[in-house]
Amino acid sequence: MTMDDETNPEPPERSPGAPPHADAPAPGHFPDCPASVDVLDPHTLIAHQDAHALRDLCTRALEALGARGELRVLLVDDARMTEEHLRHKGLDSTTDVLTFDLASPNESRLDADAIVCVDEARRQADARSIPLVHELLLYSVHAALHCLGYDDLTEAEADAMHQREDEVFKALGLEPAYRASAHPTDGGSA
């Protein structure tokens, strides 16, 4: 499984957004408004305390990135992710994360939805012997980075994005996601 979260301009049940515009402020140059993260887990796929930990870690991650604005993370299972992947990417399979950038082209605040697959995160976390919350955090940070102008369509872009993810993890006092171990995800697909 690869990180499959190119920014999609057609978010579920929301008006279309657009990727960052060329003349938008550089990542990290946002007005003085706090980072806000909502973790939505309508089917209780993770423990309540893990959802709170994920929200807190994501908020700290956005602050480490210098980002201001909102990130909403919807936790889903394989079945729901497969539906969303088919609807938004035309692929009849599960994936780890789908990203929806809702910021208007000239907006300098983060406004993003991320659909994150708990089943995939659990498989990857088990394979790497890391906490599930850390894998969910990785997918959430990856989504935010897409909305801040990062991409992973080429090997060089993926390397830069993964390096930034590792920097965020280190800033939070966590083991780097990519450099410390061989992560089974390798960057941009579909």
* pLDDT tens-digit map of 136-187: 999 999 999 999 999 999 999 999 999 999 999 999 999 998 864 544 444 4
Q: What helix, strand, coil percent values describe the chain, rounded to 5?
A: 40, 15, 45
In sign, the C-alpha dihedral spanning 161, 65, 147, 138 is positive
Residues 6+ apart with CB under 8 A from 157: 150, 151, 187, 188
pTM higher than 0.85, yes or no? no
Which segments of 14-96 are extended strands (E)?
35-40, 69-76
Rounded-to-integer distance, Cα 93 and Cα 82, Å = 5
Contact 166, 176 (CB under 8 A): yes
Q: Domain 35-171 class?
A: alpha beta
Break the chain into its structural domains and give their ranges: 35-171
pLDDT at 108: 82
User: Model confidence at 21, in pLDDT bands (50, 70, 90)?
Assistant: very low
Q: Tell me the three state secondary structure of residue 74.
A: strand
Of these ranges, 17-26, 100-109, 125-134, the one predicted with the greatest mean pLDDT is: 125-134
Rounded-to-integer distance, Cα 188 and Cα 190, Å = 7
Contact 112, 71 (CB under 8 A): yes
Rounded-to-integer distance, Cα 117 and Cα 155, Å = 24
User: Model confidence at 106, in pLDDT bands (50, 70, 90)?
Assistant: confident
